[in-house]
Amino acid sequence: MSARPCHAFVTGGGRGIGRAIALALAGSGADVTVTFHERSEPARAVTGEIQALGRRAAALSLDVGQPADVRAAFEKAQDELGPIDVLVNNGAMIQEKPFSEISVEDWDRMQAVNLRGPFLCCQQVMDGMLARRFGRIVNLTSIGGQWGGTRQVHYACAKSGVIGLTRSLARLGAERNVTVNAIAPGLVATDMPRSELASAEGRSKLAAIPAGRVGTVDEVAAAVAYLVSEGAAYVTGQTLNVNGGMLFR
């Protein structure tokens, strides 16, 4: 990360990968806003950890699928910590369900959280980043968005869309030093994939990982820290795979 003052906004920053990302960015010198949807306690605990590192922090409630909620959260974050230099779209949901049982409501909620959410959040920061000629956006996609998922069709479609969003915005921002990249984790040791690992398909995925293990949240966070650093200023529109060799792209 550059020596300039930096405000990073991390959706879903209270637990798992989001928490690790928030702490990694704070350790690199950023003030950090973390958001939560339903559980405030983990997010507020993270802000305490960030403040212990000597950085400013805020925890805000946010339903990323709701435009009014998104606008209000970003306005409050900027009022508290200043313009947003780094956006990490990490907040997401997952659901295991046979394709024939996915309802229209399941589909719509999945797209609202996992695709419309990053779109709305990017809209809140992009103009400001372009005007200031600096910005870093990292969107969390998934290996599922690259190779599909027979029990996660709606999830895979949303995460594939995140890759398209990333590439499009990278072209928009490149001339003004605004980079937009994606990270596609494979299986990572968090609460979210537990149901997947309990299924026969999930167990077969675990057995097929060349590295012989699931990834850690800190390994994903390190990839985010690289993409927002000055060393990655010439990297944009890319999807960085953090998957132990499960898929090469």
Residue spans of the domains in the chain: they are 7-187+220-239
Task: Please report the pLDDT score of residue 181 as a whole number.
Answer: 98
Q: For residue 29, which phi and psi values (nearest 5 degrees)?
A: 110, 10
Supply the pLDDT for residue 1. 61
Tell me, what's the pLDDT at 2? 52
- pLDDT, averaged across the chain: 94
Q: What is the pLDDT of residue 173?
A: 98
- Give me the pLDDT at residue 204, please: 78
**Structural contact between residues 239 and 247, judged by C-beta atoms closer than 8 angstroms:** no
CA distance 217 to 20: 6
One of 94, 118, 155, 238 is an active-site residue; which one?
Answer: 155
Q: Look up residue 155 and give its amino acid.
A: Y
Low-confidence ranges of the chain (pLDDT < 50): none
pTM of the model: 0.94
The CATH number of the domain covering residues in 7-187+220-239: 3.40.50.720
User: CA-CA distance, 8 to 88, in Å (whole number)?
Assistant: 8
Residue 226 designated active-site: no
Residue 192's pLDDT is what? 60
